[in-house]
Amino acid sequence: MVIGVAVGVGVVARFANDTPLWLDEALSVNIARLPVGEIGEALRHDGHPPLYYYLLHYWMALFGESDFATRALSGVISVATIPLAWLAGRRFGGRNVAWLTVLVFGVNAFAIRYADETRMYSLLMLEVFAGYLLVANSLEKPTWPRLGGIFVVSGALLLTHYWAMYLVAAVGIMLVVRAVRVRQRDDRVATWKTLGALAAGGVLFLWWVPTLLYQSAHTGTPWADPERPATVLIITLQSFAGGARSETQVLALVMVLLVAAALFARTRSNRRLDLDLWTRHEPRDVAVALMSTIVIGSAVAYATQSTFQGRYAAVYFPLFALLVALGLDRFVPPRTRAVVLSAFLVLSLVAVGFEVTTTRSQSGEVAGAIVESSPPPEGVIVFCPDQLGPSVERVLPAGYEMVTYPDFEDPLFVDWVDYAERNAASDPNAFASELVESVDPDTPIFLVFNENYQTLEEKCPAVVNALGATRTPELLVRSDPDEFFEGMSLMKFTS
């Protein structure tokens, strides 16, 4: 009953956020609304694989492009993942672990965050739970439906997010090791068939490889620095717990202890847990797959100077949820289990509370200040960096002229191709001069800016100064990063 109520709260929370879309969400909508034939070309300049965008395109055709409608796709996918979580938990550790997996997934702030965001991460979690079930069952009996399912799911993973490559690689390596080590012929045949289906899924990705190669050469992640493997692990734990607040850090510690219990603890009696330093057999493969994905992914990312963000960990969050659920199941005595479950549940719900009350973007406040100051079409709006354009454009009424620094581009999109190089070569003074010359002296110029975006740290303040040298500046909105996930400032320049 408690699990049912808690998961019910989690389901409602998956549709509760009504704050404006932030950059990544607005970009997803803008790309997905393009004709199907143009989505691939747009993604060449964005840096992601296409599956989620095609799904969102058809979803919006049915349900519209409102914030709620576009986010609801992820919410529906996440709710549909709950039965898969139950099946995976039962396959992993029995009926108790099945219900505990549902609890962990149902009230986790990380899962809820990406169930309420117009991005591909809920889809990624569904695919991983499905992949775990298919691979585990195929190793026992490799039927054609199971092998076909592995083929489809592995291809879908690769077309959903590039970090899925590292999970597929980790599982592939583990299957090779298993095939070499097992002694029974039937087990060896089942392993090779499963590995073959996993590898064959790459065929579904082949048509996208030219775009991947172009993205690798020209887009990357210029907006952040690469992270070392240890940093990736810390970011992962903070993300799974719901952020870096004090309460969520306590939850992160609790979850680490639960994973340790899943791996090393052996229930001897109602009052005793023994430690097995060789780790328990049941969770070992799941833990190896999880850690191997982190090691492979962070090593490749660091070598290629790509960054890591906590949301990428969605590719192995289902494995982590299984381990946490198994750790909860190690506590057998009713009173002990009640205490552990209560502490875990309370901390999880606190993290969920923080998540659903966090405003994603300051774009609504900025747009309101622009309209109040100068109703459309009286005003030219400039975005520095261009990354602030999609979220603000989405909430502004039609009629304003809008451009981005440094190339006077459409604020609907961000062109990540050779992004750092273009920004480094840009001239804030020349941009400001061209802007002022092209705008009627009686027309106000609004500058939406943030000086903390990588590759533009000095450029945007220089634009502010250049415009202030020719027009009278007025600060209308100050960036508030403590209150908003995506903060931004607004200045008005008049003659």
Q: Among candidates 86, 76, 155, which has minimal Cα distance to 123?
A: 76
pLDDT band per the 50, 70, 90 thresholds, residue 102: very high
More confident: 256 or 183: 256
Class in CATH terms, 362-494: alpha beta
User: With 80 as the cut, is the pLDDT of residue 278 above it?
Assistant: no
Three-state DSSP at 177 gives: helix
Token pair 């409608």 is at which residue?
Answer: 69
Quickly list DSSP for 345-386. HHHHHHHHHHHHTSEEETHHHHHHHHHHHS-TTS-EEEEESG
Report, as an integer, the average pLDDT of 157-167.
97
Report the share of the chain in percent with pLDDT over 90. Answer: 82
For the chain, how big is the Rg over CA atoms in Å?
A: 25
Count of alpha carbons within 13 angstroms of residue 68, beta-carbon side: 4
Cα–Cα dist 372/370, whole Å: 5
Residue ranges of alpha helices (H) inside 271-333 are: 281-303, 317-329
Cα–Cα distance, 174 to 288 (Å, whole number): 8
Tokens of 23: 């950059």
Alpha helices in 14-94 (DSSP H): 23-32, 36-44, 51-63, 67-93
- How much is the pLDDT for 482? 86
The pLDDT confidence band at residue 270, using thresholds 50, 70 and 90, is: low
pLDDT at residue 97 greater than cutoff 90:
yes
Which residues make beta-bridge pairs with 486? 361
Q: What is the mean pLDDT of the chain?
A: 93
Q: How far apart are CA 368 and CA 375, in angstroms?
A: 10
For residue 449, list its beta bridge partners: 384, 489
Domain boundaries, the chain: 2-358, 362-494
Which residue shows structure tokens 């847990």?
273
Strand intervals (E) in 61-143: none
pLDDT digits (tens, 9 = 90+) for 7-35: 999 999 999 988 999 999 999 999 999 99
pLDDT above 70 (res 348): yes
Among residues 238, 490, 207, 452, the alpha carbon closest in space to that of 371 is found at: 490
Work out the average pLDDT over 447-465: 93
What would the two tokens of residue 172 be? 């592939």
Distance CA 373, CA 31 (A): 31
Is the pLDDT confidence value at 72 over 70?
Answer: yes
Residues 311 and 160: their CA atoms lie apart, in Å, by: 13
User: Average pLDDT in the 88-112 region?
Assistant: 96
**484-486/472-477 β-pairing:** unpaired
- The yes-or-no verdict on residue 325 having pLDDT over 80 is yes
pLDDT at 273: 80
Strand pairing category for 380-384 and 445-449: parallel
The pTM (predicted TM-score) of the whole model is: 0.94
Residue with tokens 């058809």: 58
Q: Which two tokens stand for residue 137?
A: 């069952």
Element at 97 (helix H, strand E) = helix 95-106
**Using one digit for the tens of pLDDT, what is the confidence trace for 219-241?**
877 777 888 888 899 999 999 99
pLDDT (mean) for 136-153: 96
**Structure tokens belonging to residue 153:** 């799911």
Token pair, residue 385, equals: 């960096």
Q: How far is CA 143 from the centre of its chain?
A: 33
- CA distances 179 to 136, 137, 172, 195, Å, are 14, 16, 11, 9
Mean pLDDT to the nearest integer, 147-174: 97
Query: How is residue 439 annotated by DSSP?
Result: S
What percentage of the chain has pLDDT greater than the value 70? 99
Residues 362-401 pLDDT 10s? 999 999 999 999 999 989 999 999 999 999 999 999 999 9
Question: 90 in helix, strand or coil?
Answer: helix
* Range among 108-112, 220-224, 270-274 rated most confident: 108-112
Contact 97, 329 (CB under 8 A): yes
- pLDDT tens-digit readout, 403-430: 999 999 999 999 999 999 999 999 999 9
Q: Lowest-pLDDT range, 114-118, 255-259, 306-310?
A: 306-310
For 181-208, what is the mean pLDDT?
95
* Predicted local distance difference test score (pLDDT) of residue 269: 66
Give me the pLDDT at residue 305, please.
83
Q: Which of 222, 93, 84, 215 lies closest to 153, judged by CA?
A: 84
